Amino acid sequence: MVSPNSTNQARLQQLKDFDESKAGVKGIVDKGITKIPSIFVRPPEFSASGDPSSSQPTRTQFSIPIVDLADTTGLHDDVVAGVRQAAETVGFFQVINHGIPKRVLEEMLAAARGFHELLTEVKAEYYSREQMRKVKFRSNFDLYQTKFASWRDSLFCVMGPEPLDPQELPDVCRDATMEYSDHVHKLGVTLFELLSEALGLKSDHLLGLDCAKGHVILSHYYPPCPEPELTMGTTKHSDPSFLTILLQDQIGGLQVLYENQWVDVPPVPGALVVNIGDLLQLVSNDRFKSVEHQVLANHAGPRVSVACFFTLNFYPSTRLYGPIKELLSEDHPPLYRETSLQNFSAHYDGKGLDGNSALTRFKWQRQQ
């Protein structure tokens, strides 16, 4: 009989072998496999009854809200109301007429794909798990913590608040990433202004909390999977950011958990997906919802997406974040204790994508 300890040791060795190959999931697929390695197989408990899984049917009568930013002057109140409704209920919305040219979006997706399809030995120069490295290629940031690895590779780039030296970026995606970063940061500023007003605050309130001061761009690559029903592209999680703006290609696979059912977020040509992050739920005292989402593995592919996380957790700061005082009253007491971004990030990264919200640790435990 095989002991649990020997099984764990064998799994750890498989993880190390995968990690040290520096080839990512694409490196496995390029070998022509027909079965996925065991480290990627989702354990039975992740599909247990009571825990919504990708095997359950998704809601067809509900769709993610779309917010049109074409007229934020003449129809300003309507735009704010749309953002408020989405942020308070679904936690996700898609924005159209956002001001980022179609060319910039297309070139960013092409650049992301271009990096991940470089020769393994070229990509390997960027492969790292060093915490403070600004540009790094890796597969599964929580590889050694998670119960099963996700079918995904990522290029991670810290773009601000300290400007990234373009020379640190791979040549194949350098110009497109720098241009997209500039555009998406400006869009983030606009969204934080709208979200501030949606909370009944002055438009610069969230900007005054440095919510848009730093951002990270992650270029994700989901290779075609021979057994997509056994694994996930990205397992169930919420984001450790204030706000996330996602550019996705036309493959699809992103799902949002809404009323205990998974809802597809179909690609809308030219649109960007926006979701509330854990930190914005915290400072809004649960007014805004940071909801769980996942990405399905797929026979089709590769799927490429580019996520921009607005966060300062890679920037030294002594600032503490808690519920915004203007939102508190006797009827609405603070639900969270204050935390530094470094402390929040350390907890999120330490636990990995385990299906549990990082916010739970920072909630006040009130007696009934």
Q: What pLDDT digit, counting tens, does each position of 333-346 carry? A: 999 999 988 888 88
* C-beta of residue 340 within 8 angstroms of C-beta of residue 317: yes
pLDDT band at 66 (very low <50, low <70, confident <90, very high): very high
pLDDT category of residue 54 using cuts at 50, 70 and 90: very low
pTM for this prediction? 0.93
Which two structure tokens, joined as six digits, stand for 135? 């540009």
Q: Which domains does the chain have, with CATH numbers?
A: 7-52+64-361 (2.60.120.330)
Q: How is 162-193 classified by DSSP, letter by letter?
A: TTPPGGGS-GGGHHHHHHHHHHHHHHHHHHHH
Alpha-helix runs per DSSP H in 217-262: none
Helical (H) or strand (E) element with 143: none
Q: Is the pLDDT of residue 365 over 80?
A: no
So what's the pLDDT on residue 288? 98
pLDDT tens for residues 163-201?
A: 999 999 999 999 999 999 999 999 999 999 999 999 999
Q: Per-residue pLDDT tens for 260-292? A: 999 999 999 999 999 999 999 999 999 999 999
- Is pLDDT above 50 for 57? no
pLDDT for res 56: 52
Q: Which two tokens stand for residue 139?
A: 């597969």
Alpha helix (H) residue ranges in the chain: 4-21, 24-29, 76-89, 102-116, 120-123, 174-198, 205-208, 278-283, 341-351
Whether the per-residue pLDDT at 256 is higher than 80: the answer is: yes
Give yes or no for residue 300 having a pLDDT over 50: yes
User: Regarding predicted confidence, which is higher, 43 or 6?
Assistant: 43
